Structures are given as C-alpha cells and as structure tokens.
Structure 1
Amino acid sequence: MYEDIMKRFALLFFILFYLPAVNAGAEEKKVPVPPDLSAMKILDLETAQKIALAGNPDMAAAMSRVEQARERIKQAVAAWWPSLDANLSGTKTRLAKNFFGNSQSLSFLAERDINLNSDDFKAGLQATWVLFDGFFRSYKQQQAEFNEKEFTAARRDSQRLLAFSVAEAFFNAQLSQTKVDIAAADQKFYLSQLRDANNRYEVGTGGWGDVLNIKVQLNSAKTSLMLGRRQFEAAGYGLAALMGISDAAFPEALRLAELDRDVKLPSSQDNPETLIKEALAIRPDIHRLEMLAHEAEAGSGQAQAPFYPKVQVVGTVNGDSRDDISFSADDFGNTIGVNIAWNLFSGGADRARFFEARHKEREVAYNLASLRNKVAAEVRQDLALLAAAEEQVRLQRESVVLVKENRELAKNEYEAGEASLVRLNEAQRDLTTTYSRLAQALVEYHQARHRLLAATGKNLQPFMNTSK
C-alpha cells in the first residue's frame, strides 16, 4: 500500500513539474544564423533587405517579445479554469521525557512506559473555481490579446525602419563605390596623359613642366582613389551590421550592384492626400497605438472589477493518518463552500485606480492623434524632398553632357597644341566633379524615394513573406 501511494505521488509530481519543463525546453528558439556570403559576388538592395529582415538580431528580439505576449494570453485564459492544489506532509515528533512530569494533570503518566515518538501524515487536495470577479478575467484576456497585436505591430514597424535603414546605408555605400570608380577613371586618364607628355618631352615637342603638372594631378587622383576605397570600406561595415553579418564585415570579393544612373524619373508627382490616407491605413506604428488604445480601454474595465463582489467555489479533501503512512477511506474528510467577498471601502484607492486608467485612455488617444499629424507631415516633407531630388538629377544629367563635351574639346585642343595643359586639367576636374555630383544626386533621389515608401508604410510590400 505504501509503495502504491508513493508511486502515485511520484507520477503526480512528474506530470506537474517535469512535463512543463520539457515543453518549455522544446519551444526554445536559437539565435538566427548569419548567412554565408562567401559565394556571392554582387549584392543588390533587395537581397540586402531580405537578409537583414531574416538575420538581424533586433528582429529576432522583436519576435521574442511577440511570443512573450502570446504566452500572456494563455495565462489570461488559464484564469477561467479551476485551480487544483495538492499537498502532502509528514511529521515525526518526539516528546521530551519530562513532558508528562512537568504537567500537573498528566504527572501520573510520568512513571509509565509511554512511547514518546509519534508520526503524523497529512494529504490534501483543494479545488478553487472563481465564478464571478467583476469581469476582471474578461478584460484581462482582452488586454492580453490587444497586447499581442501591439507587439506584432511594433515588430512590423521595426522591420519597416530596418528596411529603410538598410536602403539608406546601401545607397551610401553604393555612392562610395561609385566615387571609387570615378577616381579610378580619373587616374587612368592622367596615366594616359602622362605617357603622352613624356613622349612629347622626349621628342622635344613638350615641356618638362607639363610632365610635372600631370604627375601632380595623377597623385591627386590616387589620393582620391585611396580615400574613396576607405570610405567604401567604412560604409560596408555599417551595412553589414544592419544585415546581421558576423563581425560586420563583407567578403573582400563582394561588390554592390552598380548605381542605377539611367533610372526613369516620374513625369508627375503623387497626390499627397492619397499618400497620407494610405499611410494612416498601412503604417504599423499607427496600428500599434490603436492596439494600445484598446489595451487602455481593457485596463479601465479591469479597474472597475473591485466595485463588484467576487464569488468562488472552494472544495477540499483532507486526510490525516497517525503513525501509518497508508491512508484509508476513514482518514479522509471533505468540505465544499461558496465564498463571496466584496470590498465596501478601501480609502478611495479603487476609485483612484479607475480614474488613473481613464486618464491612460486619454493619454493614448492624444498620442495617437499626435502621431497621425506627424505621419501627415512626414509624407508631405518626403514628397517635397523627392521632387527636389528629381530636379537635381535632371540638372546634373544635363551638366554631365555639357562637361563631357567640353573635356573632349580641351583634350583635342591640347593634343593639337591649340590649348594649354591648364585648360585640360580644369576640364578634367570639372568632369570628375560633375560625375560625382550626378552620383550624389542619384543616391539622394533613391534615398528620398525609399524614405517616402517608408513614410507611407509600403517599403515592406516586396517582403511580405520574409517579414512575417
């Protein structure tokens, strides 16, 4: 009998403690493994954003917050079920030898041979079921569900901001890479001119001053190339960190996709009112505050629960066995009852708690209205900056055509002996500077376009499956 009881209690403790631990361990998720880019030669923006959304540790942390919120829903649902508590205790007592002698009423037992040791075993089971708690559980569950939706929207907003940050960092790195290519072309031009100048000097048709002048310009081009490569390297570290790459470093052979110089500019601007309406409907930060407003409403409902009585049913089964661990049916008794508790006065704490919750509702409503205004302003500002960037690209494209033609004229005139080296150097510097300005204008245009996409909440649409 003793062994059967111990087996039953061992099985009970196994179910209550070991199985939840196994389930918890099975649900653990590992940190996302960074992708291997060693085989990749060209990295484009869309691929960089996909890698960042899948591998950035901040996104994994945001997902963990969502999972925490889902577990809080389960905790809130559990309150609707009865609770069942088991207890088991065993006590061994040995009375002092002088116990009976010191007691006047029991002194006659002091001379007798009495067993001073006793064992007392108790077992019990208590069930409690809350029938009514002023709708506290209902509002608690609603609050947990809205909290899960809030964290889901917050994760989505983090993805929106990450996608834009990756785009901005990618275009900055792309600009540095383009400047490296421009500096390399400038160096190649002066190397060619240096060979021609040396040939002219050797045959007596050119001066040594031209050779020295071109060497100075060549060194300047080499300096620009060296600085450009370092800037590209530094920009790559920032981009790699956003993408969740190990050690924030790309493989040495990896290049970014070429800057799209032939991007087609739109002929007309978007309607700001339409974009604002879309942003207010799509933006996840708006949705997050809307869910927070529902949470605050549920919090007000919880704050009203103390104004109602709390009703619960309690049932217990208790067993008491002395000097024998094997319980029989006669060792058990039971009770069942209904408890009703109603706080009539708490010094105004419940009333103050309710008004606090109502003010929380108002605070969230004001924050939501403020965010809506900020979103509208953000869309209008980004639309204006995009229009300015478009115009800048048009002007720089025209300038490149003009300056390129001027450089060819200066080169031909210098080679024909009709123009000085100074004019050729000026024309080449103008061409290099204008190419750099065009690259800067193109990058600013692409960044402005992605900034507007992020402001309207549309920059995640190409990654709907990746960001879920």
Structure 2
Amino acid sequence: MPAGWRMARVAASVALFAWLAACSVEPTYKAPDAAVPAAYKEAQPTANDPHDVGSWATAQPADDAHRGQWWTVFGDATLNQLEDQALAANQDLKAAAARVQQARAVTQAARASWFPSLDAGFSPTYERPSPASQYLPQDTHVPTQTLWRAQASASYEADLFGRVSSNVNAARADAQQSEALFRSVQLALQADVAQNYFQLRQFDSDVDLYRRTVTLREDALKLVDRRFKEGDISELDVAQARNELASARADAVGVARQRAASEHSLAILLGEAPADFTFPETPLAPVLVRVPAGLPSTLLERRPDIAAAERAMAAANARVGLAKSAFFPKLDITGAFGYESASLGDLFMWSSRAFLLGPLAGTALTVPLFDGGRRKANLAQARGKYDEDVAQYRQQVLVAFREVEDNLSDLHLLDDQIREQGDAVTASQRSAHLSRTQYDEGEVSYLNVIDSERSVLVAQLQASHLQGSQAVATVNLIRALGGGWGDAKPADGAPPPAPLAAR
C-alpha cells in the first residue's frame, strides 16, 4: 500500500475519533427555575422610603462571594475573639475541610483519564510453550525456556461520546458541592458561636437577676422575722418569707446549671475541653444591630446550602450523560514496547526488541449488544437521581425563604414585645412597691406582697429572655441570608464587654 494511502487512512481515523469524542451525549445543564416572590412578606418599610420593603433582583450566583467578618457589626470584642478561635480550632470545620480535599482528589483522579497511562516492568518467565503456539506439529517437542522481559506499556481510553468528560464533570461538580458544604459548615459554626455567646450572656443576666432577688428576699425575711419577734405579725408570714427565699435560691441554682451546660457547649465549638474553658459572667446588653429592610435576592443566592444543592444537580446531570454513553461503542487503546531474550545478557540488544499493538491485543473497540437491561436501568436511576436533586434544590430555596421570613417577623415583633414587656416590668415594680407599703401599714396580708414580688421576677425574667431572643434572631437572620452584608448598622455607644478569660 502506498505511503500516501496509509497516511490518509491514519488521518481519517484520527478525524473520526475526534468527531466521536466531540459528540457528547451529556444533556445540556441549566439550573431549574425556582419560585421567587416579588418581595419579602415580613420586610418592614424603611424610614426613608415607606414603599421600600425589599425587592428581588435577577438571580446571579454569588455563593463564593467573600462575606467578611459579619459578626463585627455587633461591636463586641469578646465575640470577635471567640469567632476567630472557633475558625482556627473547631474540629467539625476541619473535618469539612478534609472532605473538600477528598473531593478535589477524586476530581484529579477523574481528570487523569484524559491522559494515557504508562507503566514499565521487568520480569523473568520460565515457560514451556505448546507446539501450536509455535506453529509446529502437535507431536513436536518444544523445550522449556527462560524468557527475560523488560517492557513499557501504555493504555488510553478514547473519550468517545463524552464518556470520560461526563465523569470529570460529575467529579468536578461533586468537588464544588463539597466546597459549598464546607462554607455551609463554616457559616453554621460562626452563627452557633454567636448564638451560644448571646445565650450564655442571657443566662448571666438571669443569674444576676436571681442574685439580686435572693438578696431582697433575705432582707425581707430579716424584716419579717423582726416584726414577728416584736409581735406585730404571725409566724405564718415568717414561713412564707422563708419559702420564697428558698424558692429563689433553688431557681438560681437551676439557672446556674443551665449556664454551665451553655458554657460547655461554647467550649466545644471553640475546640477546647470544657475543663479548660471559663467564661466570665457578663450580663447581656440590648443588641442594637438593625438589619436593613431592603434585602435583595442576591443575598439568598449566596447561601452555601443552596449552592451545594445546585451543584448536586449539576453532578447528577453529568451522570445522566455518563449512563447514556454506555449505550455507545467504547475504544480502549493499549500497546507495549520492550525487549525479550532467552538470556539476561542479550536482553537489551536491539535485535531483542518486541512490541504489541493491533486489533487483536492492542486496540479494543467494543460495541454493547445485550446486557439484560442493565444499562437501561442505570440510565433510569441517573435520571431519577437528577429529578430528586431538582426537587431538593427547589425545596431548599423555599426553606431559605421561610427562614428569612421567620427571622424578619421575629425581629420586628420582638421590638414591639420588648417595649410592652418593659411597661410590664415597670407596672409590676410599682405594684410590688404599693403592696409592700400597704403591708407595712397592715392593710394587706404578706401573701399580697409575695404575689407582687413574684410578678416582678417573672416580668424581669421575661424581659431578659426577650433580649436574648432578639440577639439570637439577629444572628439567625444573618445566617439565613448566607452571611454578612454591607448595610448592617452596628450598635452605637455600647461599651464592649470584658475580655475573655481562660484558665
């Protein structure tokens, strides 16, 4: 055959393989649409524009945007220190980072299929070949021999119909999903530290409140006991005063128990053993951070959990293409070159060279004919997984909307509730003062004093809990939005708490 014809056939074969490689059967991926409301239902109009309740912008993926240190808007040096420590030492975050490394390694392994695999080996073989393998008569004696081999081999799978590319696309999407999940773990850790910190300080407020209540009850018991000794009142009033003092002390111990558990939880978030961590008592101050009402949709798109759900869809879509490619021919190219010799001294002589490449052993073009429906079932499974991921993505978007709405309503309703609760505290304190005065004048029994003082304690505890709920709701809203934003209004004039102490 003329050399020109051989070159033409080689060129035609290469062009054919290139065309087949470009014919990927992977479906074109497009993120499905999700129902997006025109505005937040619970967003409150701003002072500058009563009609501005937060409109949505065109969707632009921004899950990898830098969110910054959003917790600094609280103006709390201790919280800043805790967040930095948690990001450096939390074990769950380190485990998530390790999962990202694993996913990236899987992607790198998948990309390796784009390149040929090369191997080299050296081995002696003691063999007695059959006469037929040597093209000799059946009764011919073939002596045993030692055959020395030193060869290099290569193997390569042609990317026909996008088989290799689809696998790489799936692995890449899995790695991106892992990275988004890492950011989700990171955001959850930051929010958990802030929430636990504010809850711990709320317990400190309760502890301080019970401490002052116990002091007041002790003073009241002394006063009642003196009046009893003077004969002004009966022993019943003394017993009631002692009961109230014991109840206040018991409740104080209960709050201390809750505070200890909260302190232990914070230590774990910081990557420390509870025995090595001590948080100084710091009553909670009102959180003055206000989230702006005009919240664009891009903030929701920055949520890492939504990004992870979207990447899961992309991976499932690529695996649909991988399942489809199983219906088409597969081309594996292999070859070997080296030396074979009956003696080690002659192994690397040029006359001992040998190679293997050809349709019998080197090149394998396989065409699937029948497998009992296995490929069809695999394709149906891949399509079902994609449909599942689409539904989960849309559900995750709906959950994100609900979480934002919940926290928006919490914040503006908590403002009203805190204001009303402040009035309730003032009224209960006035009622307790009047009851005490009337008791001193003999107009009411000591039971009236007890009821009014209980009302003061309950009102003050409720006010403390509302302040803690407001701080936690603020953190939850930031978390629901996927992190920080540029329009947060930090607290003005609030003194920072004492620095963190550890032993």
TM-score bracket for the superposition, by shorter chain length: 0.7 to 0.9
Counterpart CA distance in 1 for 2:270 and 2:485 is 16
Match of 1:296 in 2: 316
Structure 2: tracts of 5 or more residues without a match: 1-75, 129-137, 488-503
Identify which range, 133-142 or 305-314, moves more after superposition.
305-314
Residue of structure 2 equivalent to 1:226 = 253
* Residues 269-301 of structure 1: per-residue CA shift (max 9 Å, x gap): 836xx46x2453111111111111211222122
Q: What do residues 25-60 of structure 1 show as CA deviations (whole Å, max 9, x unaligned)? A: xxxxxxxxxxxxxxxxx9944444443343232221
Q: Kindly tell me: are residues 402 and 62 of structure 1, through their superposed partners in 2, closer, same or farther at Cα, counting changes over 3 Å?
A: same
Corresponding residue for residue 178 of structure 2: 151
Give the Cα separation in 2 of the matches to 1:117 and 1:205: 124
1:379 aligns with 2:404: yes
- 1:102-141 matched pairs, under 5 angstroms: 119-141=146-168
RMSD (Å), alpha carbons: 3.5
Q: Are 2:109 and 1:85 aligned?
A: no
Label 1:224 to 1:321 Cα distance change in 2 as closer, same or farther (>3 A). Answer: same
Name the SS of the counterpart of 1:84 in structure 2: strand
Q: Which of residues 367, 385, 391 in structure 2 aligns to 1:343?
A: 367
Per the alignment, residue 315 of structure 1 pairs with 335
Asked if 1:287 corresponds to 2:311, the answer is no
Instruction: Tell me how far 1:242 sits from its aligned partner.
Output: 3.4
Query: In the TM superposition, what is the alpha-carbon distance from 1:187 to its structure 2 partner?
Result: 1.0
Instruction: Give the match for residue 111 of structure 1.
Output: none
Cα shift at 1:195: 3.5
Change (3 A) 1:404 1:326: farther
Correspondent of 1:333 among 330, 354, 362: 354
CA distance in 1, matches of 2:144, 2:482: 77
Aligned residues: 398
1:432 partner letter: L
2:466 corresponding residue in structure 1: 441
Q: 1:412 to 1:250 in 2, by over 3 A?
A: farther
CA distance in 2 between counterparts of 1:182 and 1:105 reads 107
What is the Cα deviation at residue 163 of structure 1? Answer: 3.3
Q: CA–CA distance in 1 between the matches of 2:289 and 2:154?
A: 72
- TM-score w.r.t. the length of structure 1 is 0.73
- Which of the numbers 429, 434, 442 marks the counterpart of 2:454? 429
Kept in 2: contact 1:150–1:288 (CA 8 A): yes
Q: Which runs of 5+ in 1 are unaligned?
A: 1-41, 95-102, 107-115, 463-468
Could you tell me how far 1:425 is from its partner in structure 2?
2.8
Task: Supply the distance in 2 between the matched residues of 1:49 and 1:104 (Cα, whole angstroms).
Answer: 85
CA separation of 1:229/1:159 partners in 2, compared to 1, >3 Å: closer, same or farther?
same
Matched residues in 1 for 2:320 and 2:397: separation?
24
Counterparts of 1:387 and 1:296, CA distance in 2? 41
Structure richer in helix, relative to its length: 1
- Provide the C-alpha distance between the structure 1 equivalents of 2:209 and 2:246, rounded to a whole number of angstroms: 15
1:398–1:66 distance in 2 versus 1, CA, 3 Å: same
TM-score, normalization by structure 2 = 0.69
Give 1:71 shift: 0.6
The answer to whether structure 1 residue 235 and structure 2 residue 262 are counterparts is yes
Q: Which residue of 1 aligns with 2:68?
A: none
1:270 aligns to 2:293 (yes or no): yes
In structure 2, C-alpha distance between the alignment counterparts of 1:423 and 1:325, rounded to whole Å: 113
Residue 426 (structure 2) aligned to one of 383, 401, 422: 401
Task: Give the distance between the partners of 1:356 and 1:265, measured in 2 at CA.
Answer: 49
Secondary structure of the 1:244 match is: coil
Pairwise CA distance, 1:154: 1.1
Q: Which residue in 2 is equivalent to 1:71?
A: 105
Q: For the structure 1 residues 70 and 256, does the alpha-carbon distance in structure 2 shift closer, same or farther, using more than 3 Å as the test?
A: farther
| In structure 1, C-alpha distance between the alignment counterparts of 2:389 and 2:159, rounded to whole Å | 30
TM-fit CA distance, 1:437: 0.9
Distance 1:455 1:195, change over 3 A: same
Counterparts in 2 of 1:230 and 1:175: CA distance versus 1, 3 Å = same
Tell me, yes or no, if the aligned pair for 1:118 and 1:323 is still in contact at 8 Å.
Answer: no
Cα distance in 2 for partners of 1:105, 1:333 equals 25
Aligned residues of 2:93 and 2:185 also touching (Cα < 8 A)? yes
Q: Distance in 1 between matches of 2:378 and 2:289?
A: 57
Judged with a 3 Å threshold, the aligned counterparts in structure 2 of structure 1 residues 323 and 402 are, in CA distance, closer, same or farther, namely same
Instruction: Give the superposition deviation at 1:85.
Output: 1.5
Q: 1:11 matched to which residue of 2?
A: none
Ranked by relative contact order (alpha carbons within 8 Å, sequence separation 6 or more), the top structure is: 2
Q: CA–CA distance in 2 between the matches of 1:43 and 1:343?
A: 67
Which deviates the most, 204-213 or 365-374? 204-213
Q: Structure 1 residue 160: deviation in Å?
A: 2.8
User: Once the 2 structures are TM-superposed, how far is the Cα of residue 184 of structure 1 from its aligned partner?
Assistant: 0.8
Question: For 1:218 and 1:416, how far apart are their aligned partners in 2?
Answer: 23
Name the counterpart of 2:202.
175
1:46-65 alignment, distance < 5 Å: 46-65=80-99
